[in-house]
């Protein structure tokens, strides 16, 4: 199975292509829906990589796709501008999970 990138910018796609990952650049909600459906219906794709911008702008669309199927796996990745998360997001997550401050 292979990976497939759905990105909001050409720079991320170019970098991933250098690593052997094919993909597409989309900007609108309708384009994202179309790209997701196409990639999810391709039996050779096991992992779909999405830039974090889509998770922030269209969370309902991403959640719907995640709930619809278990394969392919949908993973949000940071784009060229970096992650939208706080610097200590892992520590915060662990603190919430176990109820202790580390």
Structural domain span for residue 22:
2-98
Under 8 Å between Cβ of 61 and 33: yes
| Residue of higher predicted confidence among 94 and 36 | 36
pLDDT, tens digit, for every residue of 36-66?
A: 999 999 999 999 999 888 888 888 888 888 8
User: Is the pLDDT confidence value at 73 over 80?
Assistant: yes
Tell me the backbone φ, ψ of residue 43, rounded to 5 degrees: -65, -15
| Residue of higher predicted confidence among 61 and 93 | 61
The domain tally of the chain equals 1
User: Is the pLDDT confidence value at 91 over 70?
Assistant: no
- The CATH number given to whatever domain includes residue 40 is 3.40.50.10580
Mean of pLDDT values over 83-94: 63
Nearest CA-CA partner of 85 in 46, 55, 62: 55
């Amino acid at each position: 199975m292979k990976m497939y990138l759905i990105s909001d910018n050409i720079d991320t796609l170019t970098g991933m292509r250098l690593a052997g990952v094919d993909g597409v650049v989309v900007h609108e909600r309708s384009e994202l829906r179309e790209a997701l459906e196409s990639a999810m219906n391709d039996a050779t794709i096991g992992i779909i990589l999405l830039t974090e911008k889509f998770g922030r702008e269209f969370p309902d669309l991403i959640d719907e796709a995640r709930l619809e199927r278990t394969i392919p796996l949908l993973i949000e990745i940071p784009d060229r501008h970096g992650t939208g998360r706080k610097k200590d997001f892992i520590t915060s997550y662990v603190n919430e999970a176990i109820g202790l401050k580390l």
